[in-house]
Structure 1
Amino acid sequence: MQSGGRPEGVAAAATLAASAETIWLAVAPTLPGFTVEVVPEIDSTNSELMRRARAAPLDPVLLVAEQQTAGRGRLGRGWHSQPGHSLTFSLGFTLRPRSWSGLSLVVGVSLAERLHADVRLKWPNDLWLMERKLGGILVETAGLADGPDAARAVVIGVGLNVARPAEAAVQQVPGGALPPMPPAGLAEVEMGVTAPEWLARLVPALVADVKHFEAEGFAPFVSRFAARDALRERAVTLSDGTRGQAAGVADDGALMVRVDGRLRRVDSAEVSVRPC
């Protein structure tokens, strides 16, 4: 696929440095110590930042890879990437929110609002475009000290398809009962926008939204999530086989599912949700 007459991989390599500078200029004034790192290849941006977080206090950092060889998603899914055809990055912070509940939904809201009007959020951490998977989010934390109010290092990993990948490249969850979602790509709705351009569009707003979450929790994002909710009022099947109707999310980000006339709270640790 071409982008503005240039191969996508070449365009990405040529412009990532410029995007990194643009992002640093936008974010550094409000996030002291913030740095941007761009690498041509890595096993996983999340894995690298988690290694750092376990070894020492994590300074604010954006780590971007042109290519990941062992990217990770939720529930054991792999997320591999090709230069120019996808966007893979991780943000690392030290945060002390009142509650961690709903952070992955906040990340999804922030991304979806800046990607395209047709992007929807499939609870808890997938981005959909036209009923197909556009990208995913992986949030991981590492403790810095003991105690319920202690700050923690958080690593927010994002993988997005710029070009639509072949369906054969989408991996089945090991031992999973549900088939993988067919893929989508941003180029289907935004022709000619490169991965570095998407990066510059997304990251400053994402940093601002995460800091807002730290101060106020998930409650200010409930209505924003509802506007993008891919599952609301739809029949769903949970990973344990239970069937019901999705009924939005609670103020702490828990999925609400109506089962046999009663609302059931669903937490991220116990669920994989797919419309029936």
Structure 2
Amino acid sequence: MLHWDAETLWQDLEPRAPGLSVEVLAETGSTNTLLLERGRQGLDTPCLLVAECQTAGRGRLGRPWWSQPGQALTFSLGIKLAPADWSGLSLAVGVALSEALGAQIGLKWPNDLWLRGDDRKLGGILIEVAPLAEPGPRPGERWVVIGAGLNVTPLPDAQADADTFRTGYACLQAFEPMLTAPQLLHRVARPLLDAVLAFETDGLAPLRTRYAARDVLAGRTVQAGAITGIACGLTADGSLQVRDVHGTIHALHSGEVSVRPC
């Protein structure tokens, strides 16, 4: 296994989330699936779960997300939350991760990290929410699993298949050749936890300006289902606004958005 120094990471994170554990597995199907199952069983103390290799990782719309040891950082944070409004949690997570990774990383609504000016995908976020096995003391409290996959190393030539990576493949070693997956985890874990706890208290509103600074869709022609138009930022609840050729603004609450040639 790689050297993760989980003890140091735990010492940094646990005061912010009492009872939190940091676990590293050599291999598992999906860190999200594993933490969701724990939550259903009532094992709902906070947990940061890392897998060196995922054999059944999942992205949006059920797409597979696989990883080999050291090639990508794949992890999930399981935690109980009770925000007044759940809207925009994936956007808050994206802001935290992109800011921790550097100015060259942008955000593609609703939950992808792209290389700015290049449109290649660096990583993705998958958030899943489940009821608590036993109702919590706070109204609306749920078990939340926040999964992330971030590409670390370049792909071997045999894996560089355009059909597999529809939006291209970007990796962090293109900017920091010596960066490792464990180093990356130490870089992003605290900002992620801080962002999640802040979102529970403050919601999305304080983050909209920061999101806008990294929005790779803003001002570009996009398509979402039957709607084609210019992406023009977020609404207060984190929906994507698209202005069609007639000037009508459509608010997209979910779904797949693709960038179209201008």
TM range (shorter): over 0.9
Q: Does 1:208 align with 2:198?
A: no
Using the size of structure 2 for normalisation, the TM-score is: 0.92
Q: Deviation of residue 224 (structure 1)? A: 0.8
Q: Where do 5+ consecutive residues of structure 1 fail to align? A: 1-12, 173-179
CA displacement, residues 94-118 of structure 1 (integer Å, 9 cap, x when unaligned) = 0000110000001110000011211
User: Deviation digits for residues 39-84 of structure 1, max 9, x if unmatched?
Assistant: 0000000000011111215110000000000000001211000101
Residue deviations 1:137-191 (CA, integer Å, cap 9, x gap):
0000001249x9320000000001101333328648xxxxxxx211111111111
Equivalent residue in structure 2 for 1:168, among 146, 151, 161 = 161
Equivalence for 2:207: 221
Q: Which residue of 2 aligns with 1:110?
A: 96
SS of structure 2 residue aligned to 1:168? coil
SS at match of 2:48: strand
Q: 2:149 aligns with which of 159, 163, 183?
A: 159
Rounded to whole Å, the distance in 1 between the matches of 2:160 and 2:61 is 19
CA distance in structure 2 between the aligned counterparts of 1:171 and 1:55, rounded to whole angstroms: 35
Instruction: Compute the RMSD of aligned alpha carbons.
Output: 1.7
TM-score when scaled to structure 1? 0.88
Out of 52, 62, 87, which is 2:48 matched to?
A: 62
Q: Identity over the aligned pairs, expressed in percent?
A: 49
Structure 2, unmatched stretches of 5+, are: none
Match runs of 1:31-180 below 5 Å: 31-129=17-115, 130-144=118-132, 145=135, 149-165=139-155, 166-168=159-161, 171=164, 180=166
Question: Structure 1 or 2: larger helix share?
Answer: 1
Runs of 4+ aligned residues of structure 1 deviating over 6 Å after TM superposition are none
Deviation at 1:14, TM superposition (A): 3.5
| Distance of 1:170 and 1:122 partners within structure 2 | 20
Q: SS of the residue aligned with 2:182?
A: helix
Maintained 8 Å contact 1:105/1:125:
yes
CA contact (8 A) 1:63 1:91 kept: yes
Q: What is the DSSP-based 3-state SS (H/G/I as helix, E as strand, rest coil) of the residue aligned with 1:153?
A: strand
**Matches of 1:53 and 1:59 in 2, distance apart?**
9
Aligned partner letter, 2:90? S
Shift of 1:205: 1.1
Distance in 2 (alpha carbons) for counterparts of 1:170 and 1:185: 18
Looking at structure 2, the residues matched to 171 and 142 of structure 1 have their Cα atoms a distance apart, in angstroms, of 30
